[in-house]
Amino acid sequence: METRFEMAVIGTGMAGLAAALFAARQGVAAAVVGSSAEIIFASGFFDVLGVHPIEQRRIRINPWKGIEALVRDNPKHPYAKISQKNIAESLETVIAFLQKTGLSYCRRSNRNAMAVTPAGTLKPTYAMPRSMWNGVLAWEEKAPCLIVGLEGLKGFSARMIAENLRQKWPGLRPVKVSFPDSGPGAELFAERLARRLESSSIRKSFAAAVRRRLGAARAVGMPAVFGLYRPEEVFADLQARIGVPIFEIPTMPPSIPGLRIKDAFLRELPKLGVRVFAEKKVLAARHEPGRGFVLDIGAEAAEAVVCSDAVILASGRFLGRGLRAERTRIIEAVFDLPVYQVSDRASWHREELLDARGHPIHRAGVEIDDWFRPLAGSGRPAYDRLFAAGSILAHQDWMREKCGSGLAVASAQAAVNAYLNLKKSPAQ
Ligand SMILES: Cc1cc2nc3c(=O)[nH]c(=O)nc-3n(C[C@H](O)[C@H](O)[C@H](O)COP(=O)(O)OP(=O)(O)OC[C@H]3O[C@@H](n4cnc5c(N)ncnc54)[C@H](O)[C@@H]3O)c2cc1C
C-alpha cells in the first residue's frame, strides 16, 4: 500500500513526536514512524541547559544565560542555529499540548529548578511534571521529608537517596512500605504499580500505609508510579489522603513519566491529522525524481510505502538506533549520511568512564546547515528537503550538558520551520 504525505517524520522519540506536532499545527499533512526508544527511559524532565562548561561541571541556574555561553564556546552546537525566543516558544507549545492531554508541567521561565534523582543527587532542569514539583519546594525549604521505597521494587532505594543527600538535606527520612495486596517477597514493576494506583481502593490502602509512617514529615517523596493514564487524578487523590505535599522521584527504566509523554502524543497526534505508524521502522529509504522520498515501512518486512516531499530524520543516536557503531566507524542507519566522528575507534572513549569532559563518541552525529539539513560529504545539503532534529545532531552532548528534551523539541520546531520557509522561497 502506498500513501503520499507532504512530510514523513522518522522517529517517535521526543524529537520526532514534537516534529509531528509542529507540522500538524502548521497544516502539513504528516506521517510519523518509529518505535519506543529513549523516551521510555526519560525521567519526564524537560532539560534545556543545565551544565556548561561540562569539564567544570558548572551548574547553570539560568538556562538562557547558559545557552549564551554554550554557543559562544561551541558555535557548532545545534543551539547556535536557533534563537532563544524560538527555543522558549517551542517548549511552551509542547508543554501546553501536554497540559491539554492531562499532563501538567511546572517551571520558572528564567530559572532551572533542582530535582531529586533516583541516585540521590540533585539535577538542574527547566520543567518537570506537576507531580514532581513539590520535591523542588521541599528541597528549597530543606523541609523534613519522608522518602518512601516499596518492598519488592528494584532500582529505587529510599535509603540511598536519603544517604546521598544527607549532607545537603539532613531532614530526609527513608522508609520502606509494602504495596497493598502484594505478597511478601513479590517483585514489583513500575508499570504495574502505576496501573494499580489508578484504582481508588488501592490508593486508599497505600495512602493509609504511608500516613502511618509520616511522623513530622512535611512532604513525601515516592517512586514515579502515580498512574499511567490519569496521573493528575492519582496525584491529587493520594496527596489529599496523605495530607501533606507529595512528589514523584523518577525510577529506573521503564520510566512511567516517559511512557505518559509517549502515550499522550500517540493518542492525540491522530486527532490532529497525523498518521502514526507506531512500533514500525523505515526499512529502506530512497529519493526518486517525481516521487520524492520513498520509505518502505514495516516491523520486519515492508508493510507499507510512504512517499513524501520532505523528511525529518529524528532517529536518535545509539539507543534510538539512528546511529550504529561498526568496527571502525559510526554510520547513520537510514540514509547512510556522513557522520561527524573522531576518526579512530581508540579515541571514541576516554580512559576514565566518568571523565568530566565526556567521551568524543557522545558528540558524534549528522552535521547540518542553517536550515537543519544534513550535509553530504561535499558540505552541501545531502537532499533539498531532508531535515534532522534531536539527539542525532552532531556537536552536542545532551547527557552531560543536560539539554536532552529541550534540544529535541527546539530542533524539531526549527526543522519544520525550515521546511516551511524553503517551501515559500525554494532558492536556498
Ligand atoms: C536514561 C535516559 C534519561 C533521560 N533523562 C532525561 C531528562 O532527565 N531530561 C531530558 O531533557 N531528557 C532526558 N533524556 C533524553 C531524552 O529522552 C532524549 O534526549 C530525547 O528523547 C532525544 O530524543 P530523540 O527523539 O532525538 O531520540 P530517541 O528518543 O532516541 O528517538 C529515536 C526514534 O527514532 C526511531 N528510529 C530509529 N531508527 C528508525 C528507523 N529506521 N525507522 C523508524 N524509526 C526509527 C526510534 O524507534 C525512536 O522512536 C533521557 C534519556 C535517557 C536515555
CA distance 62 to 9: 32
**CA 54 to ligand 1 center in whole angstroms:** 21
Residue 167 clears pLDDT 90, i.e. is over it = yes
Query: Span 142-170, mean pLDDT?
Result: 96
Q: Is the CB–ligand 1 distance for residue 16 below 6 Å? A: yes
Is residue 141 within 8 A of residue 170, CB to CB? The reply is no
Three-state SS for the chain is: CEEEEEEEEECCCHHHHHHHHHHHHCCCCEEEEECCCHHHCCCCCECCCCECCHHHCCECCCHHHHHHHHHHHCCCCHHHHCCHHHHHHHHHHHHHHHHHCCCCEEEECCECEEEECCCCCEEEECEEEHHHHHHHHHHHHCCCEEEEEECCECCCCHHHHHHHHCCCCCCEEEEEECCCCCCCCCCECHHHHHHHCCCHHHHHHHHHHHHHCCCCCCEEEEECCCCCCCHHHHHHHHHHHHCCCEEEECCCCCCHHHHHHHHHHHHHHHHHCCEEEECCEEEEEEEECCCEEEEEEECCCEEEEEEEEEEEECCCCCCCCCEEECCCCEEECCCCCCCECCCCHHHCCCCCCCCCCCCHHHHCEECECCCCCEECCCCCECCCCEEECHHHECCCCHHHHCCHHHHHHHHHHHHHHHHHHHHHCCCC
- pTM equals 0.95
Q: Is the CB–ligand 1 distance for residue 78 below 6 Å? A: no
Extract the C-alpha cell encoding 343.
576518526
269 contact partners, CB below 8 Å, separation of at least 6: 17, 20, 21, 24, 32, 276
Counting residues of the chain whose pLDDT is more than 70, the rounded percentage is: 99
**CA 19 to ligand 1 center in whole angstroms:** 13
Domains contained in the chain, CATH given: 2-99+259-424 (3.50.50.60), 118-249 (3.40.50.1860)
Higher confidence at residue 186 or residue 33? 33
Q: Is the dihedral of CA 22, 28, 29, 32 positive or negative?
A: negative
CA distance 20 to 409: 11
Q: Give the number of the atom of ligand 1 that is nearest the alpha carbon of residue 18.
A: 25
Q: Which of 363, 368, 405 to mutate to test the pocket of ligand 1 (most atoms within 8 A of CB)?
A: 405
Is residue 304 within 8 A of residue 298, CB to CB? The reply is yes
Q: Indicate which residue's Cα is closest to atom 27 of ligand 1.
A: 316
CA distance 26 to 423: 13
Q: How confident is the model at residue 252 (pLDDT cuts 50, 70, 90)?
A: confident
- pLDDT tens digits for range 73-99: 999 999 999 999 999 999 999 999 999
101: how many CB neighbours lie within 10 A of its CB?
Answer: 14
Q: How confident is the model at residue 147 (pLDDT cuts 50, 70, 90)?
A: very high
Is residue 340 within 8 A of residue 383, CB to CB? The reply is no
pLDDT for res 37: 64
Query: Span 175-179, mean pLDDT?
Result: 95
Q: How confident is the model at residue 340 (pLDDT cuts 50, 70, 90)?
A: very high
Q: How confident is the model at residue 253 (pLDDT cuts 50, 70, 90)?
A: confident
Q: Give the number of the atom of ligand 1 that is nearest the alpha carbon of residue 47.
A: 11
Q: How confident is the model at residue 402 (pLDDT cuts 50, 70, 90)?
A: very high
Residue 348 clears pLDDT 70, i.e. is over it = yes
Query: Span 55-60, mean pLDDT?
Result: 95
Selection from 374, 372, 356 nearest residue 422 by Cα:
372
Q: Which of 32, 39, 260 to mutate to test the pocket of ligand 1 (most atoms within 8 A of CB)?
A: 39
Query: Span 288-311, mean pLDDT?
Result: 95
How would you classify the pairing of strands 246-249 and 275-278? unpaired
Higher confidence at residue 25 or residue 377? 25
Q: Give the number of the atom of ligand 1 that is nearest the alpha carbon of residue 319.
A: 30
**CA 141 to ligand 1 center in whole angstroms:** 34
Q: Is the CB–ligand 1 distance for residue 334 below 6 Å? A: yes
- pLDDT tens digits for range 259-281: 999 999 999 999 999 999 999 99
Is residue 416 within 8 A of residue 17, CB to CB? The reply is no
Q: How confident is the model at residue 345 (pLDDT cuts 50, 70, 90)?
A: confident
**CA 96 to ligand 1 center in whole angstroms:** 21
Query: Span 386-392, mean pLDDT?
Result: 98
**CA 281 to ligand 1 center in whole angstroms:** 14
Q: Is the CB–ligand 1 distance for residue 316 below 6 Å? A: yes
Query: Span 275-300, mean pLDDT?
Result: 95
**CA 400 to ligand 1 center in whole angstroms:** 15
pLDDT for res 428: 63
The amino acid at residue 57 is R
- How far does the chain reach from its first CA to its final CA, in angstroms? 34
Among 21-30, 238-247, 321-330, name the one with the lowest average pLDDT: 321-330
Q: Is the CB–ligand 1 distance for residue 373 below 6 Å? A: no
Q: Burial level of 148, CB count in 10 A (0-12/13-18/19+)?
A: buried
